[in-house]
């Protein structure tokens, strides 16, 4: 009898699942997400290409998680043919494979970009033998430069974590949060408040940060007025929401961090992540991809504005991998309409663009591997 009930239950569940799957295939909801119908565009400034020195004093590295040419071009079309990114004159292409996989994840991709070494998928700031590798942020800090991290995802998520933490798994969020306390990072702004406070080990890292003279704030409207000192901006319990929820958190956080870090006379290194182009790719949503490409582009605009006036700042924009196997089937530069298509719900192995502006930008051209990017930055900023 029990067996019969179980069989019936299994049958019903599989029936429901396949009906749901058919809905998914037949409904237009999917197609709606695949077409961004266009909307208001923003004005883009052209910045001077005159710089003070051959080597930069400051480096701002942008990682647009999941971006390759289709995402970039979707953004370009949606903003009717112009982006802050079109200020970049020096461009290259980077391969992204990890130590053990042709297709990387964001942990191995982030670690390649933070250390110049390949590691296994899932690993954060450690090599294939799980040994910690010093990151470019840690090296900059040792040299007396100011350092910062900004992200729309949780600050403990794979991409920002790769620059400051050393853990064998990207899922060890609480251990990653604790690694922030082992450093003297000056500014970090992102989500992830709960990984600092709701912890199995009972530690309250917000209290510990406060004891280390960090100002810990959760509201971006408070954060944006902070001009100096150490800052931990934890603007969401976990990840910051989509654009309709988080607003201009990323461009504002980028400007705020630059303001604070530029107080250091020796210079600074910061990494800014546009986290959610990747999530748009995973969701097969052109709308989500466009939203986050344009948001990240506006954050890049804030960095370029500072760099153009400062003249000693190198801005590098790249990605950890492509997401969604995206392509573009239709578009319109007048209306901003763009219709995407996706070939997978995961990542792909296709190369990603590398773009550079500022002193040393000419180093970032041609074919390279993702591990070459931090090596070039290290040579320019730290000098060995
Ligand atoms: Mg990421
Ligand atoms: Zn992803």
Asked whether residue 11 carries a pLDDT value surpassing 90, the answer given is no
pLDDT in tens, 145-188: 999 999 999 999 999 999 999 999 999 999 999 999 999 999 99
Q: Are 117 and 127 in contact (CB under 8 A)?
A: yes
Q: How far does the centroid of ligand 2 lie from the alpha carbon of residue 146, in Å?
A: 29
Report how far residue 255's alpha carbon sits from residue 261's, in angstroms, rounded to the nearest whole number: 10
Residues 69-95: what's their mean pLDDT? 98
Q: Which residues pair with 92 in a beta bridge?
A: 354, 366
The whole-number pLDDT of residue 120 equals 98
The pair of three-digit structure tokens given for residue 12, joined into one six-digit string: 């019903």
Q: Which ligand is nearest to the CA of 276?
A: 1
Given its phi and psi angles, is residue 136 left (phi above 0), alpha (psi -120 to 50 degrees) or beta?
Answer: alpha
Instruction: Look at strands 146-154 and 268-274 and give their pairing.
Output: parallel
Instruction: Look at strands 214-217 and 230-234 and give their pairing.
Output: parallel
Q: Are 103 and 348 in contact (CB under 8 A)?
A: yes
Q: How far does the centroid of ligand 2 lie from the alpha carbon of residue 260, in Å?
A: 30
The whole-number pLDDT of residue 20 equals 43
The whole-number pLDDT of residue 4 equals 53
| Domains along the chain with CATH numbers | 58-381 (3.40.720.10)
Out of 68, 106, 162, 255, pick the active-site residue: 106
Residues 377-382: what's their mean pLDDT? 97
Q: How far does the centroid of ligand 1 lie from the alpha carbon of residue 276, in Å?
A: 7
Asked whether residue 340 carries a pLDDT value surpassing 70, the answer given is yes
Both ends of the chain: CA-CA distance in Å? 74
The whole-number pLDDT of residue 30 equals 66
Average pLDDT, the chain: 94
Asked whether residue 283 carries a pLDDT value surpassing 60, the answer given is yes
Residues 373-377: what's their mean pLDDT? 98
Which of 59, 55, 5, 57 minimizes the C-alpha distance to 270?
59
Q: Are 279 and 71 in contact (CB under 8 A)?
A: no
The pair of three-digit structure tokens given for residue 254, joined into one six-digit string: 């980028």
How confident is residue 125, by pLDDT bands cut at 50, 70 and 90?
Answer: very high
Would you call 255 a catalytic residue per the annotation?
A: no
How confident is residue 31, by pLDDT bands cut at 50, 70 and 90?
Answer: confident
Asked whether residue 26 carries a pLDDT value surpassing 70, the answer given is no
Comparing 91 with 5, which gets the higher pLDDT?
A: 91
pLDDT in tens, 246-281: 999 999 999 999 999 999 999 999 999 999 999 999
Q: How far does the centroid of ligand 1 lie from the alpha carbon of residue 267, in Å?
A: 26
The whole-number pLDDT of residue 61 equals 99
φ/ψ of residue 178, rounded to 5: -65, -30
Asked whether residue 15 carries a pLDDT value surpassing 70, the answer given is no
Q: What is the DSSP secondary-structure string of 309-327?
A: HHSSEEEEEE-S-EES--E
The CA dihedral of 365, 280, 302, 88, to the nearest 10 degrees, is: 20
């Amino acid at each position: 009898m029990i067996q019969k009930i179980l069989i019936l239950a299994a049958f019903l569940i599989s029936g429901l699942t396949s009906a749901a799957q058919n809905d998914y295939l037949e409904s237009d909801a999917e197609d709606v997400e695949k077409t961004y119908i266009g909307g208001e565009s923003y004005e883009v400034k052209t910045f001077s290409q005159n710089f003070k020195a051959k080597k930069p004093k400051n480096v701002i590295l942008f990682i647009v998680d999941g971006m390759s040419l289709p995402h970039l071009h979707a953004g370009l079309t949606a903003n009717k043919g112009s982006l802050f990114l079109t200020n970049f004159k020096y461009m290259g292409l980077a391969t992204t494979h990890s130590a053990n996989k042709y297709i990387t994840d964001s942990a191995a991709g982030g670690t390649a970009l933070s250390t110049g070494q390949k590691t296994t998928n899932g690993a954060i700031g450690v090599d294939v033998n799980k040994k910690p590798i010093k990151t470019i942020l840690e090296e900059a800090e040792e040299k007396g430069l100011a350092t910062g991290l900004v992200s729309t995802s949780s600050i403990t998520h794979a991409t920002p974590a790769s620059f400051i933490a050393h853990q064998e798994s990207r899922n060890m969020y609480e251990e990653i949060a604790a690694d922030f306390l082992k450093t003297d990072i000056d500014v970090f702004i992102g989500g992830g408040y709960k990984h600092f406070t709701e912890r199995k080990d009972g530690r309250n890292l917000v209290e510990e940060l406060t004891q280390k003279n960090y100002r810990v704030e959760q509201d971006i409207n408070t954060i944006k007025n902070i001009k100096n000192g150490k800052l931990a901006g934890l603007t969401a319990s976990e990840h910051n929401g989509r654009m309709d929820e988080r607003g201009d958190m990323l461009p504002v956080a980028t400007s705020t961090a630059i303001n604070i870090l530029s107080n250091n006379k020796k210079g600074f290194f910061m990494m800014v992540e546009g986290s959610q182009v990747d999530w748009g790719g995973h969701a097969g949503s052109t709308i989500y991809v466009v939203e986050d490409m344009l948001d990240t582009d506006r954050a890049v605009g804030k960095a370029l504005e500072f760099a153009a006036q400062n003249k000693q700042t190198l801005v590098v924009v790249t990605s950890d991998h492509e997401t969604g196997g995206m392509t573009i089937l239709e578009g319109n530069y007048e209306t901003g309409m763009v219709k995407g298509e996706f070939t997978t719900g995961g990542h792909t192995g296709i190369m990603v663009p590398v773009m550079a502006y500022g002193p040393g930008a000419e180093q970032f051209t041609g074919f390279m591997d993702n591990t070459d990017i931090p090596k070039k930055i290290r040579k320019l900023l730290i000098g060995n």
